[in-house]
Amino acid sequence: MSRLTERDGKVIWHPYTQMLTARPPVAIVRGEGALLYDEDGREYIDAISSWWVNVHGHAHPYIAERVAEQLRSLEHVIFAGFTHEPAVILAERLLKVLPDNQSRIFYSDNGSTAVEVAVKMALQYWRNRGHKRQKLIVLSNSYHGDTFGAMSVSVRDLFTEPFWELLFDVVVVDAPVGGKGNEALAQLERAVNSDDIAAFIFEPLLQGAGGMIVYDAVPLDRMLALCKEYKIPTIADEVLTGFGRTGKFFASDYLINKPDIICLSKGLTGGTMALGATSCTEEIYEAFLSDDKRKSLFHGHSYTGNPIACAAALASLDLFEKKETWDDVARVSLRQKAFVSAISKHERVRNPRRIGTVMAFDVAAKGKTGYLNNLRDWMNDFCIDRRVIVRPLGNVMYLIPPYCMTDSQLESVYSVLTAMLQELPS
Ligand SMILES: Cc1ncc(COP(=O)(O)O)c(C=O)c1O
């Protein structure tokens, strides 16, 4: 039997990959903690939590046990007209940890669908109440997923360019990054002063795919207060920021003004299974209650609220009840902070930043600095050749480790990044 990598090359089309020029994928056969092993037995440190999803480490024995138990009793059931215990308990437990204005959980099966549901909830909330409000306000640099609604509420960039003409119109206001808080607020004030605005969607405190951009809670809070004043529902996309990433359970926990709708995925199952959840306030939910069936939220997926995925999420929540998990979040956050300060003087490092367990910096590069910058592939290959898994966004280098990453694994990652900075091509 030939190697997995070669067989893959004959049959698989990979996401976000130029299949003609990309180097062959690494075939991973096993994971343990922060480590992954390829088909030749080589060990890699997963410094990006496998597309930002894994929080407790790979093949976590406790999650595996709970998932296996669930598999033996109920693997799946249609979620319209039926329910099951893992979904009910998970909703009850999520509502206990989410901001306390949240009152209902709508399940789907990934981050983009969690966003689609949020967008539909907001638009239909107005329609069900007899208003025609159809525009969403979005932040510059935002990324909310790859389905059409999620692309529409994301910034028009390289990722969505082939579809720009097909995406619905949104109002873009500056993200309140750096000193731009006042300007962002002024732009938002102009935007909400229209009777066509249905909602404001944002990635709280950390804009991920847009370049790992970190911003403060205070200016965002002012923007949310303004939306509240104008009765515009707010949607926090916590797909990336949820479950400890920013140091608290949710990035919304840093805010005084709580969002009306919250999107969850990625870390929801500890990174084990695909699951999405969109929570909302009672007020949003009540707008859908009617004798008129046309006011229902007609949205669902075959795997909505899958019991195995819910069991994985419940096991992950159990781990979040352990003090050690939060000790790890604090330990990784501190290590990241120290590394950011250690590299901040390097001549090629720009805008070093960190929030919670996430650190990022831009690498000064000649010419284009976007996603297609050649440095991206060089940095990526440099680290992967040294067995550290990264996935730079253009010239933006970042680390999003699982919280179980040990100090010595973190040190290995840092020394590879430091060597990378020393050897950067000009
Ligand atoms: C903030 C945010 N929203 C939505 C998504 C889309 O999630 P998924 O890839 O599960 O569709 C992502 C994925 O990176 C994300 O970072």
Whole-number pLDDT of residue 1: 56
The position carrying tokens 């990453």 is 405
CB 383 within 8 A of CB 389: yes
Tokens standing for residue 57: 């480490």
Question: Which residue range forms the structural domain that includes residue 93?
Answer: 74-320
- Same domain? For 316 and 326 the reply is no
The candidate with the shortest Cα–Cα distance to 399, out of 341, 344, 351, 340, is: 340
Residue 64 forms part of a structural domain: no
Whose alpha carbon is nearest atom 16 of ligand 1?
240
Whose alpha carbon is nearest atom 13 of ligand 1?
145
Q: Which of 288, 320, 352 is the last residue of a domain?
A: 320
Whose alpha carbon is nearest atom 7 of ligand 1?
111
Mutation choice for ligand 1 from 119, 148, 240, CB with most ligand atoms inside 8 A: 240
Residue 290 forms part of a structural domain: yes
Tokens standing for residue 71: 């598999």
The distance in angstroms from the start CA to the end CA of the chain is: 43
Q: Which residues contact 347 (CB under 8 A, 6 or more apart)?
A: 364
Whole-number pLDDT of residue 204: 98
Cα distances (Å, whole numbers) of residue 87 to 61, 77, 78, 93, 107: 22, 11, 12, 10, 9
Tokens standing for residue 381: 């290959």
| Rounded distance between C-alpha atoms, residue 260 and residue 202, angstroms | 12
Residue 67 forms part of a structural domain: no
Dist. CA 279 → ligand 1 center (Å): 16
Dist. CA 11 → ligand 1 center (Å): 26
CB 266 within 8 A of CB 111: yes
Ligand 1 closest atom vs CA 274: 10
Residue 225 forms part of a structural domain: yes
- Same domain? For 103 and 191 the reply is yes
398 belongs to the catalytic site = no
266 belongs to the catalytic site = yes
Tokens standing for residue 81: 């007209």
62 belongs to the catalytic site = no
- Same domain? For 149 and 15 the reply is no
Tokens standing for residue 426: 């000009």
Q: Which of 107, 254, 260, 266 is catalytic?
A: 266
User: Which amino acid type is present at position 333?
Assistant: S
- Same domain? For 257 and 354 the reply is no
Tokens standing for residue 394: 């253009």
Number of neighbours of residue 96 by Cβ within 10 angstroms = 10
Cα distances (Å, whole numbers) of residue 371 to 59, 306, 378: 31, 35, 13
- Same domain? For 252 and 346 the reply is no
- Same domain? For 275 and 358 the reply is no
Q: Which of 291, 320, 349 is the last residue of a domain?
A: 320
Residue 287 forms part of a structural domain: yes
143 belongs to the catalytic site = yes
| Rounded distance between C-alpha atoms, residue 260 and residue 166, angstroms | 28
Bridge partners (DSSP) of residue 159 are: none
Strand-strand pairing, 135-139 and 197-202: parallel
| Rounded distance between C-alpha atoms, residue 260 and residue 281, angstroms | 6
Provide the number of structural domains found in the chain.
Answer: 2
- Same domain? For 303 and 414 the reply is no
Cα distances (Å, whole numbers) of residue 44 to 29, 384, 416: 11, 8, 12
Q: Which of 38, 46, 109, 237 is catalytic?
A: 237
Give residues (CB < 6 A) around ligand 1. 110-112, 115, 143-145, 203, 208-209, 237, 239-240, 265
Residue 264 forms part of a structural domain: yes
Tokens standing for residue 206: 């950390």
- Same domain? For 279 and 227 the reply is yes
Classify residue 371 by burial, with Cβ atoms within 10 Å: 0-12, 13-18, 19+. Answer: middle
Residue 240 forms part of a structural domain: yes
Mutation choice for ligand 1 from 107, 144, 159, 207, CB with most ligand atoms inside 8 A: 144
Mutation choice for ligand 1 from 51, 107, 112, 398, CB with most ligand atoms inside 8 A: 112
Cα distances (Å, whole numbers) of residue 182 to 148, 219, 222: 31, 8, 9
- Same domain? For 302 and 346 the reply is no
SS3 310: helix
| Rounded distance between C-alpha atoms, residue 174 and residue 186, angstroms | 10
| Rounded distance between C-alpha atoms, residue 259 and residue 125, angstroms | 15
Whose alpha carbon is nearest atom 10 of ligand 1?
111
Residue 69 forms part of a structural domain: no
Ligand 1 closest atom vs CA 209: 16
CATH code of the domain containing 304:
3.40.640.10
Whether pTM > 0.95 for this model: the answer is: yes
CB 332 within 8 A of CB 403: yes
Dist. CA 113 → ligand 1 center (Å): 9
Q: Which of 320, 355, 389 is the last residue of a domain?
A: 320
User: Tens-of-pLDDT digits for all 426 residues of the chain?
Assistant: 579 999 999 999 999 999 999 999 999 999 999 999 999 999 999 999 999 999 999 999 999 999 999 999 999 999 999 999 999 999 999 999 999 999 999 999 999 999 999 999 999 999 999 999 999 999 999 999 999 999 999 999 999 999 999 999 999 999 999 999 999 999 999 999 999 999 999 999 999 999 999 999 999 999 999 999 999 999 999 999 999 999 999 999 999 999 999 999 999 999 999 999 999 999 999 999 999 999 999 999 999 999 999 999 999 999 999 999 999 999 999 999 999 999 999 999 999 999 999 999 999 987 666 767 779 999 999 999 999 999 999 999 999 999 999 999 999 999 999 999 999 998
Number of H helices, E strands in the chain: 13, 16
- Same domain? For 295 and 369 the reply is no
- Same domain? For 115 and 52 the reply is no
CB 361 within 8 A of CB 349: yes
CATH code of the domain containing 378:
3.90.1150.10
Ligand 1 closest atom vs CA 112: 11
- Same domain? For 343 and 390 the reply is yes
The candidate with the shortest Cα–Cα distance to 223, out of 278, 180, 284, 282, is: 180
